[in-house]
Structure 1
Amino acid sequence: MSPDYHKSSIESGIANVQNVSAAYAMWAVSAPRHFGSEATHRAKRAFMDVIACMVPGALDEAALTLRAVSSQWGEGPSTVVGQQRGQSAPLAALANGTAAHALDFDDNFDPAKAHITAVMAPALLSLGEARVKSGADILEAYIVGLQIATRVGQGLNPFHRNRGWHATSTVGAIGAAVACGRLVGLNHIKMSHCLNMSTSYAGGFMSQFGSMTKPLHAGKAAEAGVVCALLAEAGMTAGHETLDGPTGMAQLMVGPDLEELRTKAEFKREHGQTMRFETDSIGEPLAILAHGLKVKRYPTCASTHRALDGVLQLIAAHGIKANDVTHVDVYAPVSHFNNLMYRDPKDGLQAKFSMEFCVAVALQNNSVGLNDFTPDAVASSSYRSLMPHVHRHPVAKSESEFATRVEITLKSGAQHSVSVDAPKGRADNPLSDMELWDKLRQCCRGILDSTATERLAEALGQIDGPQPIATLMALLR
């Protein structure tokens, strides 16, 4: 963190603020402009990754369906990825957020239990382009919004998410609103209204997983972030107990047993989740450094990733061939299997949430990529024939308490097993910068030619500079 960040100078003024949302708003407008080179680099990587995801995501059926309708709603200054005509900042955020999450290739953020960058980046890029902001301005606002999303997520999770709320569209909307409020320079009173207003946009259920509405959740949350910042800037007000009040988010979106759950969470504190809204030290540790983001290696639900890493490790170590396998036993936290509700997926959207299908792909191809979720691929007998060999074993422990274990049994009777705690892409096992560039090129292949891809890569490499973000966004039209 930058040496000019001093807890005493920023948070001493917050210490006497009793209201949670007011305290968060105060921190969001008082935090420094510079968080240090490592925090900026991590934010830069997050934008590189999510923009890579937007390129093929813009051609997904969900994104195309949305644009077919929203393109009729008028023009504006902000880029919609894959569309020549710009639109208003809220509509561009809606379209680009949907595209960012459409392929489930975008990052995860554990404290919030959300695909946070797929919400916050589209909101900031769309608003930043409309307001002629630089990439450096946008990255700084992202770090601020991420910090508040962390504190809200830690105050609601894990039970908010475990009870079926899609935190990408609940916590994500709040993080995006604060980030956008920071970008346009709201004062602490208007920032408080912005944050509180965004809770009225927070919604979305895990029952939408495996449908086009799941990525729409990210788009709607991104749109909400822009709208709340602009309305608060114009003078719109909101209630002030929307997080922790008697009819606030914690009571209504966790449950009436909130206090009992807080006692349970206190003993685990997974990803800093205590079910309490931290106000004593809002900005420390800085979340982007302390927790980091999980950049995806595979375009599937993150709950498959530890198992997929395990399968590929065993293939590499023992030369396993798909037709030699009789059983693949996957032992994983029950929360992972709760996310993977499709044992017999009918389309590519469902297949991304199927442990059976994803493991079959890994066995057959020794890889899992974007082309494995087309209609033809999902119907392929080469995958379908392997799926019955994959067996689920839910374990009643949290992710931090139990490493996913994969056991492969061969026709010869040989058995091989491996446990995976940190999937490739997690902050403590990150993709290298080169691997991230390779992901960008993979996402652009067949959509942008090599010259256009390299221009985009060059612009992304300079996103932390002073040039207007419109320079980069023009390459995505």
Structure 2
Amino acid sequence: MTMNPNNPLHAFAKWTSETNSDWSDVALDRARNAFIDVIAVIIPGTDEPVTRKVYDLATEWGRGNCSAIGFPEKLSAPMAALVNGTAAHALDFDDNFDPAKAHATAVLAPALLALADQEKLSGTQLLDAYIVGLQMIGRVGQGVNPYHRARGWHATATVGAVGSAAGCARLLRLNPEETAHAISLATSLAGGFMSQFGTMTKPLHSGLAAAGAVQAALFAKAGITAGTDTLHGTTGMGTLMVGQDVEELREGMKGKAEHGQTVTFATTDIGNPLQIEEYGLKVKRFPNCGSIHRALDGLLALKAEHKFDKNNVKEIFVRAPAAHLRNLMYEKPQNSMEAKFSLEFSLAAGLLNGNVGLKDYAESNISNPEILELLPLIRKEYVEKLETDFYTQVHVTLDNGETVSTEVAMPVGSTARPLSNEQLWDKFDACVEGYLDKQIKSTVKKKLEHLADENDISSLMAVLS
């Protein structure tokens, strides 16, 4: 293959393969924290029906020498990534990544953990591949968003698979040509629609993308070749997964790119800015769709400030970007998965309890009459503006006629309002309660805290399995 620096696929591959690994402390700390957070949510995610069903099939499809967190059977690397990726997204408690408009770590971390487990690689190599893979998830996302996501593609499943394949190629130390084939191959393994939200298939998207990323890198390592125009060509991802009006959309984004999204694949300065430093990750405070978080943060802040409860609220009115509210299609959810995509249910639970946690989305709580009676109080307005151009507004009208209001630009857990280390470990403890005994939890926490010092990731995975 002749590498063309003007071809974004080749530019991405060259940077992925050859960039130095002298990462800043900020980058390394954020990468480590991403693994702490994703493993925290994978552990209870293994108990979800979708994960158990996927694991049962994975044991039939491919045994090997890799661990699936929470399960006894060893699996092949793609099947371990499939199971762990599904578990990572099963509770919708995993992080968001703005440049990609995707749940990045739920795809990237399971893919890398599977390969690091198989190859017995170190924590330092794992963190390096995560930083590189996240950069590529962001760069691919910036090349197709915001319209890719706005038009109904589940970017976790599409952008996540392609960028994570680059991370896997980095971990396997593939050369630039092999890396280009891995990224290109991944476009043929990328797919998923937002019409699957609220069903078991949504978390399965994350598992499929993680497995696809592993497969793409291993295919490339084995010498399987792929096309050179699969990102920017007329029949590439940038046109087919955005739309035939991509040129018009691209013109419209000039001067107002959101999270670096230009609907154009970069060919220069691929590593500048480093996205884990520039944008960071949104670590979730609540186990529901991230499109709910600004409104829920606002409601809980108003509740804490003004000391109201369910008995003296007449109405909760939310004005939010339409792209957020379109994700929240279940006004009267019938099950736990639908409830995670319900603004009404989540705000009602927050009004009732003063917080929202995993227990609020238990199947037994979905028909809670105290929550159901509050659903009619909640009203919403779709605002056709970008999320950076319009902050989410929350207006609460009390029974005395007074209206108290706030607006939220960025949710708790974002780089603008990050969780402290204490809050991150509190989330970990809450997630693993009832799943890990005291000794195992202590061992896992110590290994995660000092992830860069792990000589062999398979020892961590063995404890987790």
Please classify the TM superposition score into its range, dividing by the shorter chain length.
over 0.9
Counterpart CA distance in 2 for 1:174 and 1:74 is 23
Written as runs of structure 1 = structure 2, the 5 A alignment for 1:18-57 is: 18-57=6-45
Q: 1:183 maps to what in 2? A: 171
Per-residue deviation, 1:30: 0.9
Counterpart CA distance in 2 for 1:344 and 1:387 is 8
Per-residue deviation, 1:450: 2.6
Q: What secondary structure is seen at the aligned counterpart in 2 of 1:270?
A: coil
Counterpart CA distance in 2 for 1:229 and 1:72 is 23
Of 210, 213, 216, 2:198 maps to 210
Counterpart CA distance in 1 for 2:252 and 2:90 is 35
Per-residue deviation, 1:33: 1.8
Counterpart CA distance in 1 for 2:396 and 2:16 is 49
Counterpart CA distance in 1 for 2:347 and 2:236 is 41
Written as runs of structure 1 = structure 2, the 5 A alignment for 1:223-372 is: 223-372=211-360
Counterpart CA distance in 2 for 1:319 and 1:457 is 37
Per-residue deviation, 1:466: 4.0
Q: 1:71 maps to what in 2? A: 59
Per-residue deviation, 1:453: 1.7
Of 54, 60, 78, 1:90 maps to 78
Of 108, 115, 120, 1:127 maps to 115
Q: What secondary structure is seen at the aligned counterpart in 1 of 2:98?
A: coil
The one-letter amino acid of 2:66's match is: S
**Greater CA drift, 441-450 or 236-245:** 441-450
Q: 2:446 maps to what in 1? A: 458
Per-residue deviation, 1:415: 1.5
Q: Is the 8 A contact 2:146 2:261 kept in 1?
A: yes
Seq. identity, %: 48
Q: 1:150 maps to what in 2? A: 138
Counterpart CA distance in 2 for 1:294 and 1:67 is 28
The one-letter amino acid of 1:245's match is: G
Counterpart CA distance in 1 for 2:132 and 2:62 is 31
Q: 1:441 maps to what in 2? A: 429
Q: What secondary structure is seen at the aligned counterpart in 1 of 2:99?
A: coil
Counterpart CA distance in 1 for 2:57 and 2:12 is 36
Q: 1:9 maps to what in 2? A: none
Q: What secondary structure is seen at the aligned counterpart in 2 of 1:392?
A: strand
Counterpart CA distance in 1 for 2:454 and 2:446 is 15
Counterpart CA distance in 2 for 1:74 and 1:306 is 41
Q: 1:138 maps to what in 2? A: 126
The one-letter amino acid of 2:416's match is: D
Deviations 1:378-405 (A, max 9, x none): 1100100001100011111110011111
Q: 2:210 maps to what in 1? A: 222
Matched residue pairs, number? 464
The unaligned stretches of length 5 or more in structure 2 are none
Per-residue deviation, 1:467: 1.6
The unaligned stretches of length 5 or more in structure 1 are 1-13
Q: Is the 8 A contact 2:292 2:343 kept in 1?
A: yes
Counterpart CA distance in 2 for 1:465 and 1:390 is 49
Q: 1:58 maps to what in 2? A: 46
Per-residue deviation, 1:232: 0.4
Deviations 1:271-317 (A, max 9, x none): 00011111121110100000100000000000000011011101110
Counterpart CA distance in 2 for 1:369 and 1:437 is 15
Question: What value does the CA root-mean-square deviation take over the aligned residues?
Answer: 1.2
What is the TM-score normalised by the length of structure 2? 0.98
Of 418, 433, 457, 1:430 maps to 418
Per-residue deviation, 1:72: 2.0
Counterpart CA distance in 1 for 2:324 and 2:334 is 20
Of 412, 415, 423, 2:403 maps to 415
Per-residue deviation, 1:369: 0.3
Counterpart CA distance in 1 for 2:22 and 2:68 is 29
Counterpart CA distance in 2 for 1:451 and 1:409 is 49
**Greater CA drift, 230-239 or 68-77:** 68-77
Deviations 1:1-55 (A, max 9, x none): xxxxxxxxxxxxx9x6121101110111111122121111110011110010100
Q: Is the 8 A contact 2:158 2:209 kept in 1?
A: yes
Per-residue deviation, 1:451: 2.6
After TM superposition, the runs of 4+ consecutive aligned structure 1 residues lying more than 6 A away are: none
The one-letter amino acid of 1:368's match is: V
Q: Is the 8 A contact 2:7 2:267 kept in 1?
A: no
Q: 1:7 maps to what in 2? A: none
